[in-house]
A = this chain, B = another copy of it.
Amino acid sequence: MSGNTVSLGDYLFTRFKQQDVLSIFGLPGDFNLSLLDHVYNVEGMKWVGNTNELNSGYAADGYSRVKGLAALITTFGVGELSALAAVGGSYAEHVGMVHIVGVPSISAQQEQLLLHHTLGNGDFAAFERMSANISHSVHHVTGVEDAAQSIDAAIQAAYINQRPVYLTIPANLSEIELCAKRLATPLDMSLPDNDSDAEDEVIERVSKMLQAAQKPILLVDACASRHSCIEETAELAKLVNFPVFLTPMGKGAFDEQNKRYGGVYVGSLSSPEVSEVVDNADLVLSVGGLMSDFNTGSFSYGYTTKNIIELHSDYTKIKSSSYAKVGMKQLFPKLLKSLAPIAQDLMAKEFINVIPPKQVATPVIPGSTIYQKWLWTRLGSFFRKGDIVVTETGTSAFGIVQTKFATGVTGISQVLWGSIGFSVGAAMGAVMASEELDLSRRVILFVGDGSLQLTVTEISTMVRWGLKPYLFFLNNDGYTIERLIHGENASYNDIHPWKNSRILDVFNAKEGEHEAIQVSTTDELDNLLSDPAFNKNDKIRSIEVFLPKMDAPENLVKQAQFSSSVNSA
């Protein structure tokens, strides 16, 4: 920044800094290099430098799930396409991200030069057309006239809609000078106003339905956390006094230690205690619902009531009527205020007392095999406030459903998109974000030996930055989740085994700054998890846990049967 003007690059990264987005993920490429020069002009900003673009996309996703927004920079064609599977996941799962692509200069595009990183057919718009399918919106910088506005609009859209947006910046424009004054006004990140008539009608109807209900429940799902409504949901639960249930994707969006918390609802895969209450409810108040197959026990929701209130990020549904312009984040303040007068009445009602989720015994027998059931239950007492628990699609994302979270534990998994390998990249981004917030927060990754192979190199980025996550490698000899669905003994579900305990070493983790542990019995793992030294996140650790090949969490076994039958129907 020099006086009245600021370079485009400095402008961009200053805008991210204002949103507390301090880490920029991605890889260098010749169409973005000059833009990257500017990262270091803005104090406190850092260029992460991932090991490949797919991983950088997952990392940006993980970062955004912790901090609410992320920035990803790739290069034209080769770089951006490599990241699409990650960006698609962010789109599906409501994760805010600006995907910035360094593109050839406008003149090179207009002349349709047969540049490297192109398809060789002069079609410079192909990659943008591809990304548009998995982006909330597409934004371009084409010159000094639209640069600031395009950048601002992209950042606002990504945050407000919690989706990826696509922003192109030509390679020759990162140095152009923009008016600096605009930076003095922080971006308006407020959500669009609700339609106030519709909002009033919603509040009136909701209030009446809540008062009339005899056996109501509150069901908290993914978008409660994805759209930053965790606090509002807690307040709502307090006011209405309903029994509260989480979905698998909702884990972390409500305090599982709360006395009104009843467990995880996964349709017909739920425990009988949970099904009993939810399926017989006479009112379901749903916050941030995301009804995907793996999140709902393959759409097996069993409640018979027609009294359903759904609060979503951009609409509200009451019974059969939809209110297009009533988003929950904007609705909550008025709704909570309107409920205050009736909270006393609701508190007096004798709603069903929930039975706290049953805890499975975790006996420690020296030399005994570790089973998934034991593992996920035992982990409950390892987790503590502030922990961020990242689980991979596979036994982990299903297993974690049975783990009771301590207050203030955050869960990250990708239940809807379900791209294997996601968790390693996401953990990289999450630990970067958590260290920016509070060094004492721990990031704990659970990834199977199969999924690990897709994105293992992102552990190198963790080592590079001196990050200190816990990396649990669950070694059950291949793709167990696939074996359960189809082909138990098929060789396509086998993987080539690695020496996983040497991964930190090959990525050059320094002596004394890392630890590679292997455990195969309950006593070994129990001792480890109880060890105060192990509990302090003062180094990067890999913990390889050996588990039986076909052992899996019960909900995964049932889900796999569903999937198998859907695929052959």
Q: Which chain A residues have a beta carbon within 8 Å of chain B's beta carbons?
A: 27-31, 33-34, 36-37, 39-40, 47, 49, 51-54, 77-79, 81-82, 84-85, 88-89, 91-93, 104-105, 107-108, 113-120, 123, 126-127, 129-130, 133-134, 171-172, 175, 290-294, 299, 393, 415-421, 453-457, 460-461, 463-464, 479, 482, 485-487, 490-499, 502-503, 505-508, 563, 566-569
Contact = CB atoms under 8 A, between A and B. Distances in A.
A17 to B, nearest CB: 18
Given A37-B487, A105-B566, 19 more contacts: A27-B454, A28-B493, A33-B493, A36-B487, A47-B492, A51-B453, A77-B417, A92-B118, A92-B119, A114-B299, A115-B292, A118-B292, A175-B568, A453-B457, A463-B496, A496-B507, A496-B508, A498-B508, A502-B506
Contact of A461 (B39, B487, B496, B566): B496
Contact of A498 (B479, B487, B507): B507
12 contacts: A28-B482, A30-B482, A37-B490, A47-B491, A47-B492, A54-B82, A78-B89, A78-B420, A107-B569, A114-B291, A116-B415, A453-B457
Contacts of A502: 502, 505-506
A53 to B, nearest CB: 8
A114 B492 contact: no
B119 A134 contact: yes
Which 10 residue pairs across A and B have the least CB separation, nearest first? A464-B496, A78-B419, A81-B85, A33-B486, A171-B567, A82-B85, A52-B454, A126-B133, A116-B418, A130-B130
Contact of A88 (B31, B81, B172, B495): B81
A93 B116 CA distance: 11
Given A482-B28, A508-B497, A567-B105, A115 B77 contact: no
B495 A49 contact: yes
Contacts of A31: 567
A116 B78 contact: no
A565 B258 CA distance: 62
A113 B299 contact: yes
B569 A30 contact: no
Number of this chain's copies in the assembly equals 2
Contacts of A464: 496
Contacts of A497: 508
B88 A77 contact: yes
Contacts of A454: 27, 51-52, 457
Contact of A460 (B51, B460, B496, B567): B496
A506 B503 contact: yes
Contacts of A36: 487, 490, 492
B172 A568 contact: yes
Contacts of A81: 84-85, 88
A477 to B, nearest CB: 13
A362 to B, nearest CB: 30
A88 B78 contact: yes
B486 A416 contact: no
A91 B78 contact: no
